[in-house]
Amino acid sequence: MKKIFKSCPIITFVLITFMLSSIFYFLIIHTGKLGSGFGIFITALMWCPGISALLTSLLLRRKISQLGWKWGKAKYQWKSYLIPLLYIFITYIIIWSMGWGGFYNKDFVNQVSTLFGWTKLPPGLVILLYFILTGVFDMARNASSALGEEIGWRGFLVPELSKNFNYTKTSLITGGIWAIWHFPILIFADYNSGTPYWYGLTCFTVLVVSTSFVFTWFRLKSNSLWTGVILHASHNLFIQSIFSPLTIDTGNTKYFIDEFGVVLPVVCMCFAIYFWRKRLELTSTNKQN
């Protein structure tokens, strides 16, 4: 059995990931809600790829330090924070400009004003202060969950795939596995925006595979899994905590907004193409086609 594990590290990692995840798939699907169990179930699910990477490394007798724990150059970490903000900002400017969703959601801003004690401040200032505080201090909470996934996807899977595949194939395979891993909670729970599951599934898959090109580029360029953590945390933070809540439903908004609408996947495809064209900047140790 150990010989099989050693000869198929990627298959081993994927199998352990889905075996562990199946426990929390069941618990989440049983209630139909991601927030069930006070959010513990979804946090545990997000840590399954990371735990799998650690277990696989132990089975292969590899050092855990090989997963890319070094911080690397700060410029890559800053870019990892700002790039999701950029593509999300472009997405929502398109949505608001086209009338597919409206800006701003007064109920949400009033709720923020009350919770933060800013009821006497003008709405514009409330939005600005909320954006700054959330964008800075809520990163830690998002990063703690993203770390669980990223130890697996970018800490283990991307470097392992890049030993035998070029950047393009590594990005596609990682993105495909990453997307499929989300399917059970997208189809059978409430991890969607209310559109038909096939529509949300298609948009989400295109989005994840597209962002995989960005995440993979930064992982290979920086040699640090922390770029993935920051990219992932920044992506979740700005969509879930800021831009989507600020958007008013104008009727068919769910078909355009968030990770399950059509606009963000298209924008991220453009970013994927941009980084694919920069693939030759990666180190010569990786195959670049």
Q: Where are the domains of the chain?
A: 72-281
Rounded Cα distance, 44 and 76, in Å: 28
Task: Please state, rounded to an integer, the average pLDDT across all residues of the chain.
Answer: 94
- Cβ within 8 Å of residue 260, ≥6 positions away: 192, 193, 195, 199, 200, 203, 204, 254
Share of the chain above pLDDT 90, in %: 93
Mean pLDDT lowest among 9-18, 45-54, 152-161, 187-196: 187-196
| DSSP-derived 3-state class of residue 248 | strand
Return the closest-CA partner of residue 9 out of 159, 215, 147: 159
What is the DSSP track for 94-116? HHHHHTSSEE--HHHHHHHHHHH
pLDDT over threshold 80, residue 228: yes
Question: Token digits for 64?
Answer: 């855990």
Torsion of Cα atoms, 165 then 16 then 235 then 106, to 10°: 150
Rounded Cα distance, 216 and 175, in Å: 9
Residues for the chain: how many in total? Answer: 289
pLDDT over threshold 90, residue 51: yes
Q: What is the pLDDT of residue 129?
A: 97
pLDDT digits (tens, 9 = 90+) for 124-182: 999 999 999 999 999 999 999 999 999 999 999 999 999 999 999 999 999 999 999 99
Report the Cα–Cα distance between both ends of the chain, in Å, rounded.
35
pLDDT over threshold 80, residue 56: yes
Identify the sign of the CA torsion 16, 18, 22, 25: positive
Q: What is the pLDDT of residue 287?
A: 45
Work out the pLDDT band at 193, boundaries 50, 70, 90.
confident
Identify the sign of the CA torsion 266, 272, 274, 277: negative
Rounded Cα distance, 233 and 121, in Å: 29
Mean pLDDT lowest among 46-55, 186-195, 262-271: 186-195
pLDDT digits (tens, 9 = 90+) for 72-120: 999 999 999 999 999 999 999 999 999 999 999 999 999 999 999 999 9
Return the closest-CA partner of residue 160 out of 183, 181, 177, 179: 177
Q: What is the pLDDT of residue 284?
A: 45
Upper half-sphere CA count for residue 17 (Cβ side, 13 Å)? 25
Share of the chain above pLDDT 70, in %: 95
pLDDT digits (tens, 9 = 90+) for 138-149: 999 999 999 999
Q: Is the peptide bond before 199 cis (omega within 30 degrees of 0)?
A: no
Rounded Cα distance, 213 and 274, in Å: 9
| DSSP-derived 3-state class of residue 247 | strand
pLDDT over threshold 70, residue 211: yes
Work out the pLDDT band at 6, boundaries 50, 70, 90.
low
**Continuous H helices in 99-196:** 106-116, 123-137, 139-150, 158-162, 167-188
109 vs 66, 102, 112, 162, 251, CA distance in Å? 45, 13, 5, 45, 20
- Cβ within 8 Å of residue 96, ≥6 positions away: 102, 103, 247
Q: What is the pLDDT of residue 144?
A: 94
